Amino acid sequence: MELVSVAAVSENGVIGKNDEVPWDLPEDKEQYRERVAGHPTIFGRRTYEMFGDPPGSAYIVLSRSEREFERENAYHASGVAEAVEIAESLGADRAYVLGGGGIYDLFQPHLYRMVLSRVPGEYEGDSYYPDWDEDEWTLMGTEEYEHFTVEFWERKSNDSA
């Protein structure tokens, strides 16, 4: 199973504030949704609930409190191993990890790739993308957009998942 995290990250590591993204970049939202379409997505409960229309083909929600969700294609998982099992049971060979901060941190050691939208500027926030050792990763390429840059990272040792 290939686990890929997708996040928009400011220069100071902020990814959210008060369960919202602290910037408005419609072009980033569009490329993000297109990237994960057709694949299971993995969220923490609060991140899942902030989406009116979550991206992806199925939703794997890590939660200590909620076990059932209104959407037919939403599944509860208690941790990384169970999330991977659910994604595999859906016939997927890749799943996208979409946050929040605690979920990114939990999955970081298991990631194969990261797709990070780099948002210029520093923002106040209460949710951060986890620190990671760049020596363990290779920058495979970038895509330039008007207000952000997307970076494609791959783990050097791909036996993590």
Residue 161 pLDDT: 46
pLDDT in tens, 7-26: 999 999 999 999 889 999 99
Residue 66 pLDDT: 74
Alpha helices in the chain (DSSP H): 26-36, 45-50, 80-89, 101-107
Coil, helix or strand at residue 61: strand
Q: Cβ distance 118 to 7 under 8 Å?
A: no
Q: What is the mean pLDDT of the chain?
A: 94
pTM for this one? 0.93
Q: What is the mean pLDDT of residues 36-55?
A: 93
**In the predicted structure, residue 116 carries a pLDDT above the cut 80:** yes
Q: What is the mean pLDDT of residues 123-128?
A: 96
For the chain, domains (ranges, CATH) are 2-155 (3.40.430.10)
Coil, helix or strand at residue 50: helix
- Which residue has better confidence, 1 or 65? 1
| Residue 1 confidence class, pLDDT cut points 50, 70, 90 | very high
